[in-house]
Copies of this chain bind each other. A is one copy, B any other.
């Protein structure tokens, strides 16, 4: 949309265009952009779990004013990534063994329920989306040596899980699951998780996907439940190793 000059409006109004790579996809306001950046910073561990968020420092770090900063932080509260207390400000939500276990348990309940509903309600479009997400995920290599590949894999992994349940037709339920996935990813990325030797995660995903598209509710749901449970156990071991309570 930039190059060729359209209807001759000689006006020199063209000024510093924002980096063309940033699609104008609804993240217009500073507050929204900030929410995204902060979310990523928290999930990736760049902002330490449990740490206080000093508004003044954050304001300088992100080069923004107070209003959008508060706006962004307020939004992360609904994501469960930030906690707030009147007159005492914000802090990054802490991580703990108990929290990890709750997240895992609730994922087993909610994500499995959402899959069940998706299988019941989903259409062909949904099936296709699953196969696509599965393919992209399984064809992507995870190379521990290159962090950027890990991030990419994480994004595809998340996408796969969300696609699985995207057919359930229940916005609130999807919101909950999305939130739980956010929380879960913090633990995962905190340890740059390498799957334990006795797991073939790729196959696990394939089994879940296959079960879903052939509408075998019990099979797919049980496979998903086990998948979530194993991941939880895996993460818990890492956490215990690090001595987190």
Contacts and interface: CB of A to CB of B under 8 A. Distances in A.
A4 B85 contact: yes
A78 B2 CA distance: 9
A225 to B, nearest CB: 14
Interface residues of A, number: 38
Given A70-B71, A102-B173, A26 B113 contact: no
A172 B86 contact: no
A95 interface: no
How many copies of the shown chain assemble into the complex?
A: 2
A26 B86 CA distance: 7
Nearest to A103: B172
A170 B105 contact: yes
A97 interface: no
Interface in A32-91: 32, 67, 70-71, 74-75, 77-78, 80, 83-87
A80 B26 CA distance: 20
Main SS class of interface, A: helix
A106 B172 contact: yes
A27 B27 CA distance: 35
Contacts of A1: 77, 80, 83, 93
A77 B75 contact: yes
Interface in A6-33: 26-29, 32
9 contacts: A1-B77, A1-B80, A27-B86, A32-B86, A74-B75, A102-B170, A106-B170, A106-B172, A109-B109
Given A3-B77, A4-B86, A78-B78, 18 more contacts: A1-B77, A1-B83, A1-B93, A3-B84, A4-B85, A27-B86, A28-B87, A29-B86, A32-B86, A77-B78, A80-B175, A99-B172, A102-B173, A103-B172, A106-B173, A109-B109, A109-B113, A172-B183
Give the 9 A-B CB pairs with smallest separation, nearest first: A78-B78, A74-B74, A28-B86, A1-B80, A29-B86, A102-B170, A4-B86, A4-B85, A102-B172
